[in-house]
A and B are shown apart, each in its own frame.
Chain A
Amino acid sequence: MKPFTFTLRQEPPQRVDLSALTPDRLAGKSVAQIEAIEIGVTRISTKVGDLFNVSEGDLKTVRFEGGSARFDLLGAKLLPGFEIHVEGDVGAQCGRLAKGGKITVSGNAGPHAASGNLGAEVEIKGDVGDFLAGPLAGELAGMAGGRVIVRGKAGERAGDRLRRGILVIEGDAGEDLGARVIAGTILVLGEAKGRIGYLNKRGSIVLARGGCFGSTYVDCGAHELTFARLFARSLRNHSAPAADLLSRKLRRYGGDTAVYGKGEILTPD
């Protein structure tokens, strides 16, 4: 069945909050009701109908034909079993606190993509802004489940305070990758710089191209790790280069010893 589609008519005149356009919140509403939903974030009104042509379809999948860097909170609190696809860019906090389901973005995403994600599978074909999967200011934990794949590069502090789940960045990562990680797994296939894994508690950071991790990471030798093989199998269909990276013999750097020293950075031997 054809998906429920929003076709962009014009660039939004202001930032818009798209959190109301998830399948569960659209269910039971007529096209007219949906077109009347207020999505503007200023005092000047912007309604769904002002920006999009709405064409009804199966709500299992919601499709946005055309995107914009002003699309904030797309797929926020998405529930398991539903999908959202965007042809184009999205703005800040894409997939924020999503409980499950799948979000794909063909363009770039702004800051705080997959922020606090709880179980959704998020794929961004372009680049993402800062604080990928990270918490908002004042929150104690970032992403707590799910899988995020970024085909391009990520901004600074990707995976900040990550608690659970897998983060794959196929391009480069900005400064302070995996800072304050609590647990979970981050893979970077490009270059990573800055204080990698700063105050990492129990997380695993896998880097295709090594680097210098400072004196608080300790070399634990190269090993064949069974968990990496399992991860490789699980990731094979989502990111073949990430699966290849995990299939190799990996050198383990234990740290950050400035905190518990129970986390690790893994790099090919």
Chain B
Amino acid sequence: MPDLIRNGVTIDDNFAEAFPMSGTGILITAPNAKWARQAALTMTGFATSVIGCGCEAGIDREVPPEETPDGRPGVRALLFAMSSKDAEKQLVNRLGQCVLTCPGSAVYSTVAGEFEIKVGDALRQFGDKWQMSKVVDDRRYWRVPVMDGEFFCEGKVGLTKKSVGGGNLLIMGADWDKTMRATEAAVSAIDGVADAIAPFPGGIVRSGSKVGSKYKGMSASTNDAYCPTLRGVTKSELDADIGCVLEIVIDGLTDNAVREAMRAGLHAIIEMGPEQGAKRVGAGNYGGKLGPFHYHLKELLP
């Protein structure tokens, strides 16, 4: 594979392979930013990978009070799943357990998708018939009495099947500190891109996987080709100067959001250069068999 070099960082002539997902986004507001964030953090917790969590979710951005429907501070959270049914199940569960329970919270739809998930229409039943419906500007909301006042929730939340999951960057550096520095810079650049999230802890995955395992029943296992500790004993993709590899996985509401997030991340890594950060950037794919969305790194370069 011919290499490309920008600012001393080697870019693999490779591509990230992504697949279609069902995506939805909600805006959570609260009397202050702390509790809006808390509700969103709780709701998007344990939502790193659809493989074991049922969905991938994360915080897209903080929304200032001037931009929210009720004039309170808000946080926008995105949630992605492999089917609209999974997305619905996960969203209703998470709203019920993590947002309904969170003091002061209210929920609004922020995605105009092809489908709608009945969230408020499900959660309202918590009101034990004391809930009240309100229609404002043709949208239905529910007021559910709770111990700190009222939980206010939009009846339906938009869902789009045009979302994309699995955009990724493999960041390779000399040691943990440098690789982490470059990866963190990339994650904060991705945070600035609307409609895209990096669902793993702090946006970063250290356990990139390959398909299959030597154990029966395991569908995925460690990506040994990118494990620096196995370089030499396994067929490695790493040169001698790479001591650490971290991955960023990106989900977006649209194909373009994922592309822009990858571009932002890649640019941040390149800007830092190999002395401070990463020596090399690659991307994960399965030879084009996994999904229809291919993001070629060379097309994203500065």
Binding site for B on A (CB under 8 A): 145, 164-166, 183, 185, 202, 204, 223-227, 229-234, 262
Residues of B within 8 A of A232 (CB): 71
CB-based contact B132/A202 at 8 Å: yes
CB-based contact A230/B132 at 8 Å: no
CB-based contact A227/B72 at 8 Å: no
The reply to whether the CB of B149 lies closer than 8 angstroms to some CB of chain A is yes
> Contacting B149 at CB < 8 Å: which of A145, A225, A262?
A225
**Beta-carbon nearest neighbor of A224 in chain B:** B149
From DSSP, what is the main secondary structure of chain A's interface residues? mixed
The reply to whether the CB of B141 lies closer than 8 angstroms to some CB of chain A is yes
CB-based contact B149/A231 at 8 Å: no
Q: What are the interface flags for B100-117 relative to A under an 8 Å C-beta threshold, 1 for contact and 0 otherwise?
A: 000000100000000000
Chain B proximity of A197: nearest CB distance (Å): 14
Q: List 5 A-B contacts (CB under 8 A).
A: A229-B70, A230-B136, A233-B70, A233-B71, A234-B137
Chain B proximity of A232: nearest CB distance (Å): 8
CB-based contact A225/B150 at 8 Å: yes
What is the total of A-B residue contacts with beta carbons within 8 Å?
A: 50
Chain A proximity of B75: nearest CB distance (Å): 15
CB-based contact A227/B152 at 8 Å: yes
Residues of B within 8 A of A164 (CB): 135
The reply to whether the CB of B85 lies closer than 8 angstroms to some CB of chain A is no
The reply to whether the CB of B254 lies closer than 8 angstroms to some CB of chain A is no
Residues of B within 8 A of A262 (CB): 129-130, 132
Number of interface residues of B (CB under 8 A): 20
Q: Which of B136-152 contact A (CB under 8 A)?
A: 136-137, 141, 143, 149-150, 152
**Beta-carbon nearest neighbor of B145 in chain A:** A220
* Of B70, B72, B129, most A-chain CB atoms within 10 Å: B70
Q: Which of B30-71 contact A (CB under 8 A)?
A: 31, 69-71
Known: A230-B70, A233-B69. A145 touches B135 (CB 8 A): yes
CA of A104 to CA of B301, assembled, Å: 57
Residues of A within 8 A of B134 (CB): 185, 204, 227, 231
The reply to whether the CB of B93 lies closer than 8 angstroms to some CB of chain A is no
Q: What are the interface flags for B72-101 relative to A under an 8 Å C-beta threshold, 1 for contact and 0 otherwise?
A: 100000000000000000000000000000
* Of B130, B136, B141, most A-chain CB atoms within 10 Å: B136
Chain A proximity of B256: nearest CB distance (Å): 30
The reply to whether the CB of B276 lies closer than 8 angstroms to some CB of chain A is no
The reply to whether the CB of B209 lies closer than 8 angstroms to some CB of chain A is no
CB-based contact A223/B69 at 8 Å: no
Residues of A within 8 A of B29 (CB): 226
The reply to whether the CB of B236 lies closer than 8 angstroms to some CB of chain A is no
> Contacting B135 at CB < 8 Å: which of A165, A225, A229, A233?
A165
